[in-house]
Chains A and B, each alone.
Chain A
Amino acid sequence: MTRRDARAFWLFVGPFLLGLAVFAYLPIGWSAYLSFFDARNTVTPTEFVGLGNYGHMLTDEPFLSSLGTFSVFAVFIVPLTFVLSLALALGVNQLRFARAFFRSVFFLPFACSYVVASLIWKTSLFSGVRYGLANTVLSVFGVDPVAWTGTVHPPLYWVVLVTARLWLQLGFYMILFIAALQRIPVQLYEAAWLDGAKPGWPVFRHITLPQLRATAVAVLLLNLINAYQAFDEFYNIMGDARGYPPFARPPLVYLYYTSLGSGGQDLGRGSAGAVILALLIALVTVLQGRVLRFGRAA
């Protein structure tokens, strides 16, 4: 290493690091700082309140229920995405013709925004009125129109939220699985065939699945992180001009309303909530890393 190398290093990496410092480290530090202060309607702290904001958030019913909402969402979306995207990948991979066409069809929704999907889901597919598509289909079977997003018992709004996300993201995970499937050496299958293994479940169980391990872990992890970040479709499907219903608020939606939304504008409490979430995520990541032994490659 020479001085020239050091200079070149900072020339190449410096601009990025500067940006990272201003738009990642500084905000995180500021947030941690703000979380100990009263900061209502202002970005500058006014009064030191110690752990007050934390105490408030940890006993705040809506905040805790937002964690519950996220958990329910994750329980639906993570396994469904995993199984369905793997099934799509296996299906598309087996096609003899039009493979690229089908791959494109399933991948295309990835180009759409959650806002657009929310619009279609909320006002056309699952609109609660008679002419909504889902209700039209149901009426063929003599079922009365269902108020999809407004029905809490049973919580039918999950059908809307979960299917919207599935449509948008299945194609992306399918591509990851297809890439992994194509990397499995053909010899493995040939050897299995010579050993008398029947194509079908046993081969899938003992050859395909173990070879997909790394991808499977990545898919689960990404999926969980993305579910935790859910905002766009919740905000647009559940909210309207009258506000947001008290249920189906994931943490991000709740924090948005607490810190920036029309109601609270309480940046101190919002920051405390953000710090609590960061700690939770860190804990889950560490535990998950332990369980799945992820991160060896990094």
Chain B
Amino acid sequence: MAAVLFLLPFYLLLRNGLASRADLTSPQWTFFPSTVHWENLSRLFSLSDVPFARSLLNSLLVATLQTAGLLVICSLAGYGLARIPYRHSRVVFYAVLATLMIPTSVTFVPSFVVVSSLGWLSDFRGLVIPGLFSAFSVFLFRQYFLDFPRELEEAGRVDGLSRWGVFWRIVVPNAKGFFAAIAVITVIGSWNAFLWPLIIAQSPDSWTVQVALSGLLTAQNPQLNLLFLAAAVSILPIVLLFAFLQRYLVRGVAESGLGGS
């Protein structure tokens, strides 16, 4: 029963997306549209005022670049904080934790100021780079590396690897599952992000798919069937990724230290 309720919105996406406009507004509710309009798909991609294909491509690029960059930068930082003995490492860790306490609602205005001063508005740099420095991901990586078996690393040191070598040749290959979990979380977050792209991507050419959808939704007289189809297309890559990597995601969420104990 609850499962049906949870699946209902997905069904609505498809039903409404493939219906004609008349079907959508008919006062009589029907479970299936009278005819399935596959041509809605080609109409969606040839809209003149909303560059939908372009926005999909932008989102794909942003999500890929952001996830790849974040994995490198945050795993390095997490590892350094967990493993390298350094006098000020505690201070640095608390400085990182402190930014976690400050919600985006407080930082989005000043971050916008910084990014616009850098001249990165409507630019991939503005969309991607600020998202690379996730204190939360560093925190998760640190917790994970604290529990990483030291023996493996010591074996590498004995073989003459530097710290850098140990990290890339031993730690990363053995932590693939955790990297996958953080990657899925980051891709989903990046693909679904709305507020930041909304303020940074000001020209339609730089819109991400969420901004494009919102533009269609809040427009005057939106073409509802195309809008639903656009939404269905927009969730497809994420739902597929989710289906294939859910195992890692669930484990990542469960292991993220949020569970306490």
Q: Give Cα A107 to B2, complex, Å.
A: 12
A residues contacting the other copy or chain, number (CB 8 A): 98
Q: A125: which B residues are within 8 A, CB to CB? A: 9, 12
Given contacts A9-B86, A175-B253, contact A298 B97 (CB under 8 A): yes
Nearest to B227 among chain A residues (CB) is A119
- The answer, among B92, B114, B214, for a CB contact under 8 Å with A27, is B114
A189 to B198, CA, bound (A): 51
- Say yes or no: B73 contacts A15, CB within 8 Å: yes
**Chain B interface: which size bin?**
35 or more
Instruction: A157 to B188: give the CA distance in the assembly, Å.
Output: 28
Of B36-44, B46-54, B74-82, the one touching chain A: B74-82
| Known pairs A8-B163, A12-B79, A131-B27; A111 contacts B242 (CB<8 A) | yes
Of A71-79, A192-200, A276-284, the one contacting chain B is A276-284
Q: Is A180 an interface residue (CB 8 A)?
A: yes
- Candidates A43, A133, A229; contact of B113 at CB < 8 Å: A43
B250 at the interface (CB under 8 A from A): yes
In this assembly, does B158 line the interface, its C-beta being within 8 Å of a C-beta of chain A?
no
Known: A28-B102, A228-B105. A5 touches B86 (CB 8 A): yes
**CA–CA, A43 to B243, complex, Å?**
43
Q: Hey, which chain B residues are within 8 Å of A175, CB to CB?
A: 250, 253-254
Q: For chain A, what secondary structure do more than half of its interface residues adopt (helix, strand, loop), or is it mixed?
A: helix
Q: Residue-by-residue, is B204-225 near A (CB-CB < 8 Å gives 1, otherwise 0)?
A: 0000001001100111101010
Q: Which residues of A contact B210 (CB under 8 A)?
A: 113, 115
Distance (whole angstroms) from the CB of A4 to the closest CB of chain B:
8
Say yes or no: A8 contacts B84, CB within 8 Å. yes
**Residues on B with beta carbons closer than 8 Å to the beta carbon of A277:** 103, 105-106
Q: Tell me whether B87 is interfacial, beta carbon within 8 Å.
A: yes
A27/B113 contact (C-beta < 8 A), A12-B80, A172-B253 known: yes
CA A96 to CA B13, docked complex, whole Å? 31
Residue interface bits A107-146, CB-to-B below 8 A is 1, else 0 = 1111111111111101111000111010010000000000
Q: With a CB–CB cut-off of 8 A, which chain A residues contact B87?
A: 1, 6
Q: Which of B's residues lie within 8 Å of A, judged by CB?
A: 2-3, 6-7, 9-10, 12-13, 16, 24-29, 73-74, 76-77, 79-81, 84-87, 89, 92, 95-97, 99, 101-114, 116-117, 129-130, 132-133, 135, 138, 163-164, 167, 188, 191-192, 194-195, 198-199, 210, 213-214, 217-220, 222, 224, 227-228, 231, 234-235, 238-239, 241-243, 246, 250, 253-255, 257-261
Listed A/B pairs (8) with beta-carbon separation below 8 Å: A5-B86, A9-B86, A12-B77, A13-B81, A118-B217, A215-B260, A236-B217, A241-B218
A residues contacting B by CB (< 8 A) are 1, 5-6, 8-9, 11-13, 15-17, 19-20, 22-28, 30-31, 34, 43, 88, 91, 102-120, 122-125, 129-131, 133, 136, 167, 171-172, 175-176, 178-180, 183, 213-215, 217-218, 222, 225, 228-229, 231-232, 235-236, 239-242, 251-252, 255-256, 259-260, 267, 270-271, 274-275, 277-278, 281-282, 285, 297-298
